[in-house]
Structure 1
Amino acid sequence: MDVPRVPLHRSLIFRLLAASLTIATVAVVATAWLATQAASQTIQKQIGQSLSDDKNVYDELLAHAATHQDWSGVSPLLTTLAAKIQRRITLTTDTLRVIADSAPGPSLADARPSATVDALAVDAALTGRTNRIDYRIVGPYRLTAAEQRSIREQLTTALDCLHDGGAEGRIVSGHFGRPKVAVTELGKLDSLCELVPSTAKSEQRPLAQLRRLVAACAGEKDPEQVSIAADLTIRIVDPQTFQSDPAREAEATACLDGSLRTQLDPYVAPPALLFVTDPADPTSGQVFPLSRRNLIRTGTVTAVVLALAVVVTVLVGRRLTRPLRALTEAARRPDGHPRVKVTGRDEIGYLAAALDELAERREQSEQQRRAMVSDVAHELRNPLTNIKTWLEAVHDGLATVDGPVLTLLQEQTAQLQHIVDDLRDLAAADAGTFRMHPEATFVNDVAAQVVDAHRPNAATARVGLATEFDDDPELLVDPVRVRQLIGNLLSNAIRHTPPGGTVTVRTSTGDDRFVLAVADTGVGIDPGDLPKIFERFWRTDQSRTRHTGGSGLGLSIARQIADAHGGEITVSSEVGVGTTVTVSLPASHAPTG
C-alpha cells in the first residue's frame, strides 16, 4: 500500500520544528537583550584597552621568546613597549611569580592575563596564524651564510621557472628562518620547478634527530624508513614494495608538531603569562562583572525561558505520544489483533491505519490457516477411515483379503499419496524450494501422452477427449512438471464434465508465447467463484461428500508450475456451457528454481 502524503502543517517534523524554533527564538531574544544590556556597561569599563596594542605587545614578546632561551634580557623591551602604549606590562610564571615588569604596581592576583606567551603554542586569535609553532624559532636548524646564499640561488632559479610558466612568486622567510618561495599568482606551473631546495648540511643532523622523535611517536620500528624533507614533509616508503604508505605517513605527520616542540623546547623561552593593565588598577583589563541587579535579572529571565521550554515541550510531547501509547496498548492485547481508533491525518494516523490493515490480514491468514488444517484433516480422514474399516473387517473375519478388497485398499492408499504429494509440492513452493529441471521438450508430445493416460478415466466417465495441436514447438521446460500441470487440468475438466460431454486440449504459438488450453463442456463456474478457484482446497461443490472427487489442490499446483516457468494461467467460464483454462508460457524461457 502506498503511504499517504502527510500535509506539511500536519507533519510531526513540522510541529516539532515549530516548537523548537519557538523555544530557540525566545531564548535567543532574551539572551541578546541581556547581552546588550551587560555589554553596554562592560564597554564603558574597557574604553582604555586597545586590542591592537595588545597584539603588538604579544607579537614583540613572542619574537623574543622564539629567539632566546630565557626571559633574562626582556626588561628593556617591556619598558619600551609600556612607554608606547602607556600601560603596565608584566610577565609572570603560571604561579604568578613575576619574571619581568615594566613598572611596579599593585598585585596581579585578581587580574586576568591578556595572553600566554609561548613560542611553541602561538595564540591564533591574536596573530591570525594557523601554525602553532612560531616561524622565527631557529634552534638547531641555523644555516651558515654560505648555505643561505646557496638556498637563495636555488630559489631564484625556481622563480625564473615559475615566471616562464606565467606564475609569479617571491622569496620569504619560512620556518627556522629558512628562505622559501611564496607563489603570489598562479599560472601554468611547470612540475619541473624545484620549489623546495635540497637539504643543507647544517640541517641534516637536527632533521635526523626529528626523524627519530617522529618515528618513536608513530611507533615506527626503523627510523631510517621515515624521511623528512627540508620543508618538513614526511614520506615513508615500504622497503618491500618501494611504495609510499599513506596511512603511516598520516600517523607520522600527526606526530610532527609534538616532536618539533620536544626538539625545540631547549632553544626557546619558557611559557609566560602576559598582563597588560592600567598602572593603578590591574583589573581594568578585565570584563566588568555583572552587578547584583543584572545577575538577578539574568537569572529571572533564564528561569522563565526554561519554564516556558518545559511547558511547551511537555504539552507537545503529550499530544504526540498519546496516540503512540494507544497503539502500544492495542499491540499488547492478548487477542493479537490490535484495533485502535486514531483519527489524525499525520504519520501516527497513517501508522494506526497500517496496523489495522496488518491485523486484518493476520486474521484472514489465521482463518485461512485454520480452514486449511481442517480441509487437510478432512481429506486425509476419509481414505484413512476406509482403510481402517476394511482392515478391521479382515481382522475380525468379516471380510477376506481378496482382489476387490486389495484394489479398494490400493485406491485409498493412492489417494492418500496423491494428497500428500500435492501438499509437499505446495509447501516447497511456499518455501521457495520448488525445483525445476528444464530441458528442450516437444510440449505437444507431452500433452498427447497425458491425454492418452487419461482416456480410461474419461471412458469410465463417458467423456470424450480431443486434441487440437496447431504447431509442434520445442520449449525449454521441465517435462515432468508440465506433465503434472496438464494432468491436473485434464483431471479437473473430466471430473466436472457430465456424461456425453467433451474435453479438448488445444495448443498454439504466437508473439513468442506458447498457449495451452484445456476446454470442457461441463457445468461451468459462477462468475463470483472465478477468483477463488486457485485457492487451496476450494471446490465448486462445497459439500464434504465430494462426489466429484479431487483434493482441491490441483489448480493451486498448476498455477505454481506456470509461475515457475515464467508464465501465467487464466480461467474463463460460462455456467451451463463450460470452462476453459489457458496456460501461456514464453516460447524460449528457462524456468526458475
Structure 2
Amino acid sequence: MDAPRVPPYRSLIFRLLAASLAIAVVAVLATAWLASQSTSQTIRQQLGRSLSEDKSVYDELLAFAATHRDWSAVQPVVAARAAKLNRRITLLTEDRRTIADSATGPAPATARPSATVDPLAVDLGLTGRAGRIDSRIVGPYRLTAAEQRTMRDQLAAARSCLDGFGSTGEVVIGAHGRPKVVVTELGKQTATCPLTPPVAKSEERPLAALRRLVAACAGERDAEQVGIAPDLTIVVVDPDLGRVDRDRTARATGCLDKARRSQLEPYVAPPALLFVTDPADPAAAPVFPLSRENLVRTGTVTAVVLLLAVLVTVLVGRRLVRPLRALTEAARRPGDYQRVPVTGRDEIGSLAAALNELAERREQSEQQRQAMVSDVAHELRNPLTTIRTWLEAVRDGLATVDGPVLTLLQDQTTQLQHIVDDLRDLAAADAGTLRMHPETTYVNDTVDQVADAHLPDAVTAGVRLVTGHDGDPEVAVDPVRLRQLVGNLLSNAIRHTPAGGTVTVRTQVAAGRLTITVADTGEGIAPADLPRVFDRFWRADESRSRSTGGSGLGLPIARQIATAHGGDLTVTSDVGAGTTFTVTLPL
C-alpha cells in the first residue's frame, strides 16, 4: 500500500528550508558578490595571458600549414613552442587522431579545441585579419629567383616614384605571398605610379586556371571575359557593351574565395584541431588562481554562512525531532502491537501511519503463524496417532505384524513424508530458495506421464481421466516441478470428483503462453471460498475429515511452482458443475 503523498508545504524539507532560506540566500549572495569582485581582475589578467599564448601558437602553426603540404614535420615546432610556454600543445585531425603532441599520455579526444588550424579558413577572431585565406600560401604562384629580383626592382621603382610626388609607401605582402606597395602618406601632387608589379611568367598559368574556376562558379560561359589582376581584383567585361558589367563582376568576385580554396587545397596541410592545455591535466578547463587575501575573504564569508546554517538547522531540527521521539517512546511501550497516534499529515504523520500498518501486519503474521502451527500439529497428529496405536497393540500382543498392518503403517508414514516434503517446499518458496532447473521439455509427454501415474487412483475412485492437447509445445521448464504441479492438481481434482465424473487435462499454446487446464465435474467451490483456495491447510471440509484426503498444501505449492516459472495459477468454479484450474507459463 502506497503511503499518502504529503503536500509540499507540509513536508519537513520545506519547513527546514523555509527556516534557513532567508539567511542562506543573503549570505550566498554576499559571498558571490565578494568572490566576483575579488577575482574579476585576476581572471581578466589570466584570460588575457591565455588568449595571447593561444594566439601565438595558432599563428605559428597556421604559418606552418600555409607553407607545407602536410603535418609530417610539425612535431619539433610543437615541442619547441610547448617548452617555451610551459603548456601542452596537441594537434589532432578532424576525426580526433593524433598528429603531434608535446607530451605523452592520452590526447584530449573529447575536450573542446582551442582553435582549428586551417590556412584556407583562418579564425579572424584570433588573427584580427580581414581575409579568410592565409596570405602566406604560395601554392602554384611561386616565382623563380630571377622573377623575384625583377619584382623587388619594380617595387623599389614604385617607392621612388611615390617619393617624386611627395608621397610615401611601404611594401606589404598580399595574396600568394606576392608583394605590393601601399601608399601610407599622400603628397600634394597626385601620384600615377604603378604600385603592383605586373604578372610574372610563372604566374600566368595559375592565374588562368583561377580565372577558369571563377568563371565556372559564376556561370560565365567564356572565361576570357573574366579578368583577374595580380592583386586578385576581378572585372567582367560585357563584349557587346564594351564596359564592365557590375552585376556579373560582383557575382564573380563572390566566387573568388571558393575558387582559391579549390586551387590552393593541394598545397597546404589539412585542417587540424589545436589544443593548448595544462600539461598535468589536458582535459581540465583553465584555472585562474586567487590571491591569498581573496581566499581568506571568501573562506571567512563561507564559514559564517555555514555556521549560521548549522545553527538554524539545529534549532529547527530539535523542534522537528520531538514528535519522532514521541513515536519512539510509543513504539517501546509495553503491550502487544501498540498503535501510535497520527498527529499530522507530514512525513512524521506518514511514519506514524506506517508504524501502525506494520504493527497490524505483525499481528496478522503472528495469528497466521499460530494458525499454521496448529494446522501442522493437527495434520501430523492423525498419522502419528494411528502409527502409535498399532505399535502399542503389537507390543501388547493385541495385534500381529502382518501384511495389512505393515501396509497401514507404510501408508501413514508416506503421508507424514508428504506433509514434511510439502512444508519444506513452502518454506523454500517463502525464503526465495525454491530453485527451478529449466530444460527443454515436451510438455505433452510430461502431462501424459503424470496422467498415467494417477490413472489407478482415478479408476479406484470411478473417475474418468481424459487428456487432450492442442499442438506439441516444447518449453523450457523444470520437468520435475512441472510433474509435481500437474500431479497436485490431478490429485485434488480426482479427490473432489464423485464416481462417474470426469477429470480433463488439456494443454495448448495461445498468445505466446503455454496453458495447462485441469477441469473436473465435481461439487465445485462456493464463490465465498474461492479466495481461500490457495491458503495453506485450507480445505472445503471444515470438519477436517480424511474422507477426501489431502493436507491442504498441494494447491499453495502448485501456485508457488507456477510463479517460480514466471507464470500463474488461477481457478474458476461453478457450484455443482465443477472446478477448473488454469496454469499459464511463458514460452
Give TM class, smaller chain. Answer: 0.5 to 0.7
Change (3 A) 1:452 1:25: closer
Determine the C-alpha separation between the residues in 1 that align with 2:569 and 2:388: 39
Contact 2:443–2:474 (Cα < 8 Å) also in 1: yes
Within the alignment, does 1:418 sit opposite 2:415 as a pair? Answer: no
The 5 A counterparts of 1:29-178 are: 128=42, 161=61
Structure 1 residue 243 displacement after superposition: 5.3
Q: In angstroms, what is the RMSD of aligned CA positions? A: 4.2
Give the equivalent residue in structure 2 for 1:19: 19
Determine the C-alpha separation between the residues in 2 that align with 1:506 and 1:157: 82
The 5 A counterparts of 1:172-571 are: 192=74, 229=83, 231=85, 316-317=316-317, 319-335=319-335, 337-571=337-571
Contact 1:458–1:465 (Cα < 8 Å) also in 2: yes
Give the equivalent residue in structure 2 for 1:205: none
Higher mean alpha-carbon deviation, 329-338 vs 2-11, is at 329-338
Give the equivalent residue in structure 2 for 1:300: none
Determine the C-alpha separation between the residues in 2 that align with 1:348 and 1:521: 55
Normalization by structure 2: what TM-score?
0.53
**Aligned with 2:397: secondary structure?**
coil
Structure 1 residue 572 displacement after superposition: 0.1
Taking only the aligned residue pairs, the percentage that are identical comes to: 66
**Aligned with 2:571: secondary structure?**
strand
Structure 1 residue 489 displacement after superposition: 0.4
Structure 1 residue 328 displacement after superposition: 0.8
Structure 1 residue 452 displacement after superposition: 2.5
**Aligned with 1:435: secondary structure?**
coil
Change (3 A) 1:336 1:390: same
Superimposed CA distance per residue, residues 230-268 of structure 1 (whole angstroms, 9 cap, x where no aligned partner): 545699xxxxxx95599xx859xxxxxxxxxxxxxxxxx
Superimposed CA distance per residue, residues 450-496 of structure 1 (whole angstroms, 9 cap, x where no aligned partner): 22222322233232222233333333322222211111001111111
Contact 1:196–1:230 (Cα < 8 Å) also in 2: no
Structure 1 residue 404 displacement after superposition: 1.1
Contact 1:162–1:190 (Cα < 8 Å) also in 2: no
Determine the C-alpha separation between the residues in 1 that align with 2:398 and 2:561: 46
Contact 2:6–2:347 (Cα < 8 Å) also in 1: yes
Change (3 A) 1:130 1:250: farther
Contact 1:158–1:193 (Cα < 8 Å) also in 2: no
Give the equivalent residue in structure 1 for 2:177: none
Determine the C-alpha separation between the residues in 1 that align with 2:17 and 2:391: 78
Structure 1 residue 313 displacement after superposition: 7.0
Structure 1 residue 368 displacement after superposition: 1.6
Contact 2:569–2:583 (Cα < 8 Å) also in 1: yes
Superimposed CA distance per residue, residues 58-97 of structure 1 (whole angstroms, 9 cap, x where no aligned partner): xxxxxxxxxxxxxxxxxxxxxxxxxxxxxxxxxxxxxxxx
Determine the C-alpha separation between the residues in 2 that align with 1:156 and 1:129: 20
Change (3 A) 1:311 1:127: closer
Give the equivalent residue in structure 2 for 1:572: 572
Letter in 2 for 1:348: I
Determine the C-alpha separation between the residues in 1 that align with 2:481 and 2:39: 81
Structure 1 residue 407 displacement after superposition: 0.8
Determine the C-alpha separation between the residues in 2 that align with 1:337 and 1:410: 45
Determine the C-alpha separation between the residues in 2 that align with 1:350 and 1:131: 56
Change (3 A) 1:395 1:160: closer
Contact 1:196–1:231 (Cα < 8 Å) also in 2: no
Determine the C-alpha separation between the residues in 2 that align with 1:465 and 1:158: 91
Determine the C-alpha separation between the residues in 2 that align with 1:578 and 1:157: 91
Structure 1 residue 341 displacement after superposition: 1.3
Structure 1 residue 439 displacement after superposition: 3.0
Higher mean alpha-carbon deviation, 333-342 vs 412-421, is at 333-342
Determine the C-alpha separation between the residues in 2 that align with 1:157 and 1:245: 21
Superimposed CA distance per residue, residues 263-311 of structure 1 (whole angstroms, 9 cap, x where no aligned partner): xxxxxxxxxxxxxxxxxxxxxxxxxxxxxxxxxxxxxxxxxxx9xx989
Letter in 2 for 1:18: A
Determine the C-alpha separation between the residues in 2 that align with 1:160 and 1:516: 81
Change (3 A) 1:234 1:158: closer
Determine the C-alpha separation between the residues in 2 that align with 1:511 and 1:129: 68
Normalization by structure 1: what TM-score?
0.53
**Aligned with 2:547: secondary structure?**
coil
Change (3 A) 1:530 1:564: same
Change (3 A) 1:379 1:130: same
Contact 1:323–1:342 (Cα < 8 Å) also in 2: no
Structure 1 residue 190 displacement after superposition: 13
Change (3 A) 1:488 1:198: closer
Determine the C-alpha separation between the residues in 2 that align with 1:542 and 1:350: 41
Contact 1:524–1:579 (Cα < 8 Å) also in 2: yes
Structure 1 residue 192 displacement after superposition: 4.4
Determine the C-alpha separation between the residues in 2 that align with 1:127 and 1:512: 71
Give the equivalent residue in structure 2 for 1:110: none
Structure 1 residue 337 displacement after superposition: 2.8
Structure 1 residue 381 displacement after superposition: 1.4
**Aligned with 2:519: secondary structure?**
strand
Change (3 A) 1:128 1:323: closer
Determine the C-alpha separation between the residues in 1 that align with 2:88 and 2:403: 99
Give the equivalent residue in structure 1 for 2:266: none
Structure 1 residue 503 displacement after superposition: 1.6
Determine the C-alpha separation between the residues in 2 that align with 1:386 and 1:419: 15
Change (3 A) 1:126 1:191: farther
Contact 1:338–1:355 (Cα < 8 Å) also in 2: no
Contact 1:464–1:502 (Cα < 8 Å) also in 2: yes
Contact 1:518–1:581 (Cα < 8 Å) also in 2: yes
Change (3 A) 1:524 1:161: closer
Give the equivalent residue in structure 1 for 2:145: none
Equivalent pairs counted in the alignment come to 361
Determine the C-alpha separation between the residues in 1 that align with 2:79 and 2:520: 98
Change (3 A) 1:157 1:522: closer
Determine the C-alpha separation between the residues in 1 that align with 2:468 and 2:580: 14
Letter in 2 for 1:327: L
Give the equivalent residue in structure 2 for 1:206: none
Structure 1 residue 400 displacement after superposition: 0.4
Determine the C-alpha separation between the residues in 2 that align with 1:400 and 1:483: 38
Contact 2:16–2:313 (Cα < 8 Å) also in 1: no
Superimposed CA distance per residue, residues 91-115 of structure 1 (whole angstroms, 9 cap, x where no aligned partner): xxxxxxxxxxxxxxxxxxxxxxxxx
Determine the C-alpha separation between the residues in 2 that align with 1:470 and 1:572: 21
**Aligned with 1:547: secondary structure?**
helix
**Aligned with 2:6: secondary structure?**
coil
Determine the C-alpha separation between the residues in 1 that align with 2:43 and 2:455: 99
Determine the C-alpha separation between the residues in 1 that align with 2:577 and 2:452: 25
Change (3 A) 1:579 1:197: closer
Contact 1:505–1:518 (Cα < 8 Å) also in 2: yes
Structure 1 residue 336 displacement after superposition: 6.4
Superimposed CA distance per residue, residues 522-575 of structure 1 (whole angstroms, 9 cap, x where no aligned partner): 121121221221121111223233432101110111112212222221100112
Determine the C-alpha separation between the residues in 2 that align with 1:431 and 1:521: 36
